[in-house]
């Protein structure tokens, strides 16, 4: 078996996936082997790939297109949990790269699935089910595709299998038989890599810097940044706060930064009157591969600017805090 074998079968009783460290990675060789394997596995059939616009799924999209050309259909699921302007931005980037992206509007399905759920793991499970069983299950039934390619990386597997956090894209490794339950096999060509390795492959594939150096973003999207129930209204609050944090910290050089909406309200005041309002927590991380992370030592003035803008520009927010706890014991996302 090739060193870079695609892992398509289940977790196989705990057999370890062989990690390829970024420092040992020969990107050209990796790409050539993966393209061959994808061709061999899919044969003359059709495959679907799930694009979110992050570096992992973008890299899979380009690998898949190199291997399959028109026999790969690239789908962007608009679950309504995205950052401001994200769906159109992703479609446009890939249009420039000559890749057609199909936008699937699944907003209602996701908000229905998330209704009333507060527990973080149940939330993550609802998102996985909606993505893989409902949305992609229907697409493969409608198209006759037998394979779904997605950008799972080793860090996603580690945390899920260790029981820390169920990453939205982990299926076979926790015993889900995707063929039986959803009607397709999953292909995970990046599963031996971590984020720094994916960035190398992405660059070697000719993706633009705005993709290969893109800040990581989680599959459950803004639902992972809402503590408590996810509703369109609460997503709108965290989305507006995210715009501010991303603008203000764009030049920070940090690995990842985010806004989180808390569940509890706190007493604030505005114009001399009581204002019982929402709390936003800011997190900004220095990290190499997301396995461990430390809070960035941001200038206090940068934090003050974020607090000032957030309380002025996001209706209902009266408190902004900054998390100074490393991972571990924190994790990077709150949910
Ligand atoms: P945590 O919160 O586990 O995050 O410390 C580590 C890194 O993984 C990202 N993350 C996810 N990515 N699906 C993903 O594709 C997920 O379900 C998921 N949860 C967390 C997170 O943004 C960080 O970069």
Tokens of 282: 């800011």
| Alpha carbon distance 314, 275 (integer Å) | 14
Domain termination residue (choose one: 181, 212, 243): 212
Write the pLDDT tens digit of every residue in 72-98. 999 999 999 999 999 999 999 999 999
Domain termination residue (choose one: 212, 241, 274): 212
User: Which pLDDT score is estimated for 13?
Assistant: 38
Write the pLDDT tens digit of every residue in 31-58. 999 999 999 999 999 999 999 999 999 9
CATH number at residue 141: 3.40.50.620
145 shares a domain with 29? yes
How far, in Å, from the CA of 218 to the mean position of ligand 1? 5
14 shares a domain with 139? yes
CA angle 235, 237, 243 (to 5 degrees): 100
111 shares a domain with 24? yes
Tokens of 306: 């974020």
- The residue whose C-alpha atom lies closest to atom 21 belonging to ligand 1 is 218
Domain assignment present for residue 151? The answer is yes
CATH number at residue 252: 3.30.300.10
| Ligand 1 near 10 CB (within 6 A) | no
285 shares a domain with 174? no
Determine the residue of 218, 245, 334 to mutate for testing ligand 1's pocket, defined as the one with the most ligand atoms within 8 A of the Cβ atom.
218
121 shares a domain with 254? no
Q: What is the mean pLDDT of the chain?
A: 93
pTM, two decimal places: 0.91
- pLDDT confidence band for 133 (50 / 70 / 90): very high
147 shares a domain with 243? no
- pLDDT confidence band for 15 (50 / 70 / 90): low
User: Which pLDDT score is estimated for 240?
Assistant: 98
| Alpha carbon distance 177, 200 (integer Å) | 31
Cβ neighbours of 222 (radius 10 Å): 28
Tokens of 98: 């000559």
| Alpha carbon distance 228, 222 (integer Å) | 12
The answer to whether residue 155 scores a pLDDT higher than 80 is yes
95 shares a domain with 165? yes
Domain termination residue (choose one: 183, 212, 241): 212
Torsion of the alpha carbons at 190, 193, 197 and 200, rounded to the nearest 10: -20
79 shares a domain with 194? yes
| Ligand 1 near 168 CB (within 6 A) | yes
258 shares a domain with 178? no
49 shares a domain with 109? yes
The tally of domains found in the chain comes to 2
119 shares a domain with 33? yes
Q: Which range of residues forms the domain containing residue 303?
A: 226-322
204 shares a domain with 70? yes
| Nearest of 121, 130, 196, 126 to residue 159 by alpha carbon | 121
């Amino acid at each position: 078996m090739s060193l870079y074998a695609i892992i398509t079968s289940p977790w196989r009783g705990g057999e370890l996936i062989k990690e390829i460290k970024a420092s040992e990675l020969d990107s050209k060789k990796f790409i050539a082997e993966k393209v061959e394997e994808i061709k061999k596995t899919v044969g003359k059939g059709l495959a679907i790939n799930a694009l979110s616009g992050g570096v992992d799924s973008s890299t899979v999209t380009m690998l898949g297109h190199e291997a399959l050309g028109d026999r790969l259909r690239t789908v962007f699921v608009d679950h309504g949990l995205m950052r401001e302007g994200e769906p159109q931005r992703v479609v446009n980037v890939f249009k420039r790269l000559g890749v057609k992206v199909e936008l699937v509007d699944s907003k209602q399905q996701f908000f229905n699935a998330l209704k009333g759920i507060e527990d973080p793991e149940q939330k993550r499970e609802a998102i996985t089910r909606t993505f893989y069983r409902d949305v992609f299950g229907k697409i493969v039934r409608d198209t006759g595709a037998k394979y779904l390619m997605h950008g799972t990386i080793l860090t996603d597997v580690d945390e899920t299998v260790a029981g820390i956090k169920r990453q939205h894209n982990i299926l076979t490794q926790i015993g889900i038989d995707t063929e039986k339950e959803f009607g397709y096999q999953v292909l995970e060509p990046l599963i031996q890599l971590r984020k720094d390795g994916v960035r190398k492959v992405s660059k070697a594939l000719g993706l633009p810097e705005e993709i290969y150096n893109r800040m990581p973003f989680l599959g459950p999207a803004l639902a992972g940044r809402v503590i408590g129930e996810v509703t369109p209204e609460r997503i709108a609050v965290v989305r507006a706060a995210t715009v501010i944090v991303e603008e203000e910290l764009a030049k920070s050089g940090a690995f990842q930064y985010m806004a989180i909406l808390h569940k509890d309200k706190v007493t604030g005041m505005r114009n001399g009157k009581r204002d019982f309002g929402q709390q936003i927590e800011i997190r900004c991380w220095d990290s190499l591969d997301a396995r461990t992370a430390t809070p960035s030592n941001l200038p206090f003035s940068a934090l003050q600017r974020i607090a000032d803008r957030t309380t002025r520009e996001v209706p209902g927010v009266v408190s902004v805090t900054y998390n100074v706890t490393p991972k571990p014991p924190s994790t990077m996302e709150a949910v």
